[in-house]
Amino acid sequence: MRIAVVLGTRPEIIKMAPVIRELERSKADFFILHTGQHYSYNLDRVFFEQLRLPPARYNLEVGSGSHAEQTGKILIGVEKVLQGEKPDVVLVEGDTNSILAGALAAVKLHIKVGHVEAGLRSYDRNMPEEINRLLTDHCSDFLFAPTEKAKAILLGEGVPEEKIFMTGNTIVDAVYQNLEIAREKGNTLDALNLKAKEYFLVTLHRQENVDDRIRFVSILEGLDRVAAEFKTPVIYPLHPRSRKMVSEFHLKPQNLTLIEPVDFLSFLQLESNARLILTDSGGVQEEACILNVPCVTLRDNTERPETLEVGANILAGASPDRILEHSKAMLGRENNWVNPFGDGTAGRQIVKIIMGGSND
Ligand code: UD1
Ligand code: UDP
């Protein structure tokens, strides 16, 4: 059996790494097809190097562009590769343009599609990711749901039960496999002059937050107020989309320490030692929950409701008052919830299932 792993962005590389490790361990016939959606060193190569992943056999180098342009280029490129390689299964992860195009190219060639992290819904179709995950789920043959809730959503949408496998989320595998290594590496806080549990960590990069000037300014004002109220350093590794918009809108964020995006081990150190995390990232909401660090989500909805239910996360949207209020509320909570995203064996289960076994 030949397996193609199609990926293209930072979170896909990180969350697919445990699956790739397991494919290597079981000596499977597989290859990586990188779409090139992310191409900057600190959003792409650094993760291959640090997580010791084999190099991609193909890189389509599609780069940035409008949604249609980027998705269309990936679709054309993936189809060519799949026609040549003739894999039996294509694996994709998450909700980006890369994965929608990868899944669509495969299903039209009658190649089976496995979707890692299936069944997540924000029910907000203004988000490009919601369209991507919905369509990808509905062209998949193996739907790897991270939680019971995700499985129930898929069943509710009419996906046959035999296609759905509850495996947990591979981000748990990635965190467990790398946390100790990150702790040993341990110099990121010193380099930034930070003390454990005496700073807040921010990530903010979603199209609907940073491409809208009013919304971006409002969130930055909320973060500024949080920093001033708690007299605490706030570290913000700036995604290139956000950097571009800060410059285009001529913004000068106050009270925030802006840094370049960091590698995964450094980011795990920053997350696990933060007093509070404020974010609009999907993966960062999960990691905060797994690491028992309270999280304030800078969005009006989340496709990770499990984090809200266990008390690890709260939705603050973009209002400065709510960002401040909700930060206070989260800082007052006990951080003793149980991680709802599985036991860190998702990668192993996924490989076993596609190679013809079950995950019992
Ligand atoms: C994409 C995903 C988003 C995911 C994020 C992970 C879609 C629709 N969005 O958003 O779901 O959360 O990746 O980080 O697929 N840029 C660089 N270097 C790069 C890549 C991008 O400088 O390596 C800049 C370019 O200015 C580009 C902008 O970032 O225009 C946005 O890149 P794009 O791939 O369109 O979307 P992301 O915001 O990265
Ligand atoms: N991350 C990282 N360095 C950073 C910021 C984030 O390694 O400077 C990692 C983080 O640990 C998480 C992933 O990137 O695993 C989240 O990716 P992102 O926020 O870009 O995408 P999303 O999860 O929102 O799709």
pLDDT in single tens digits along all 360 residues of the chain: 999 999 999 999 999 999 999 999 999 999 999 999 999 999 999 999 999 999 999 999 999 999 999 999 999 999 999 999 999 999 999 999 999 999 999 999 999 999 999 999 999 999 999 999 999 999 999 999 999 999 999 999 999 999 999 999 999 999 999 999 998 887 999 999 999 999 999 999 999 999 999 999 999 999 999 999 999 999 999 999 999 999 999 999 989 999 999 999 999 999 999 999 999 999 999 999 999 999 999 999 999 999 999 999 999 999 999 999 999 999 999 999 999 999 999 999 999 999 987 666
Distance of alpha carbon 3 from alpha carbon 113, whole angstroms: 10
Ligand 2 midpoint to CA 167 (Å): 21
pTM: 0.98
What is the number of the ligand 1 atom nearest to the C-alpha of 43? 23
- Ordered alpha helix ranges (H), 86-212: 97-108, 128-138, 148-156, 170-185, 188-191, 207-210
Ligand 1 midpoint to CA 63 (Å): 9
Nearest ligand, CA of residue 13?
A: 2
Query: What sign results for the dihedral spanned by CA atoms 14, 15, 21, 24?
Result: negative
Give the tokens for residue 195: 């003390």
With a 6 Å cutoff on the Cβ, whether 240 touches ligand 1 is yes
Distance of alpha carbon 315 from alpha carbon 327, whole angstroms: 10
* DSSP collapsed to 3 states, 31-62: EEEECCCCCCHHHCHHHHHHCCCCCCCEECCC
Give the tokens for residue 218: 């409002």
Q: Are 52 and 78 in contact (CB under 8 A)?
A: no
Ligand 2 mutation target, pool 281, 287, 299, most atoms within 8 A of CB? 281
Q: Tokens 């898929």 identify what position?
A: 154
pLDDT confidence of residue 254 = 87
Q: Which residues are catalytic?
A: 205
Q: Are 220 and 250 in contact (CB under 8 A)?
A: no
